[in-house]
Amino acid sequence: MKSRIALSAFTAALIIYAGYMALYVAPVDIRQGQIYRIFYFHISAWVSTFTALTIVFVSNIAYLVTRRQKWDSLGVSAAEVGIACCSIGLITGPLWGKPVWGIWWTWDARLTTTFIMWLMYISYLLLRGLLEDPRRRSTLSAVFGIFAFLDVPLVYMSNRLFRTQHPGPVFFGGADSYVDPRMTHVLLLCMVAVLAIMIPVLVDRYRLESMNREVEELRQEIELRSLDAQSRPMKEAL
């Protein structure tokens, strides 16, 4: 309990410090002005999104190979966390884009593939809700999750493969323009801070999913025993 409190306090301090660095220490962008500061957490949200969705992908493969339910629990937990981070990215993007681009949204390759990715992982969760049999649900959702992940690298590479409203990679991908080292340092700090929030949330969600699965298994066992107890007198009478 004490370690959990200490971890929570450290995470809170880290996110506050990252916010302070992003708002007050990082230099002002000469082209975009103060509004650009939202990108420190916009990009960090996408780093957490890609991290969570990669965990979904690995978990889905691991489940199909091993058929162990813990991988299915990890997959659905990471999918929910990934959707939450993706939603943050989709919200902060237009908030940044409107003052800079003059529009809230444009259907370029980056935004379109991102929106499709968001819809596919929403569909992943909806698919699980439609299937009652645990084994069938785990198998079909794992297959669909692997298929959905094909869009993740496409989202990442979209502004490299196509001409998009988004600029080409600036920090980690080869733009020729000079970037103040303080911007890079603050961005890395913000990425770590957001991941420090995302990972404990994912762990807690995984524990909850594991407990839900245990409850479901116990409920099914009770129902089977109840049916067996009800049918036993009939068998004895015959």
State pLDDT tens for residues 102-111. Answer: 888 888 889 9
Model confidence at 177, pLDDT cuts 50, 70, 90, reads low
Residue extents of the structural domains in the chain:
2-237
pTM, whole model, 2 decimals? 0.88
State pLDDT tens for residues 107-161. Answer: 888 999 999 999 999 999 999 989 888 889 999 999 999 999 999 999 998 888 8
State pLDDT tens for residues 49-100. Answer: 999 999 999 999 999 999 999 999 999 999 999 999 999 999 999 998 888 8
Choice between 48 and 179, residue whose per-residue pLDDT is larger: 48
**Where do the H-state alpha helices sit in 102-180?**
109-130, 134-149, 151-161
Q: In residues, how long is the chain?
A: 238
Burial class, 210, CB count within 10 angstroms (exposed 0-12 / middle 13-18 / buried 19+): middle
Q: Provide the sign of the torsion angle of the four alpha carbons 201, 150, 46, 42, taken in this order.
A: negative
State residue 184 phi and psi, 5-degree precision: -65, -45
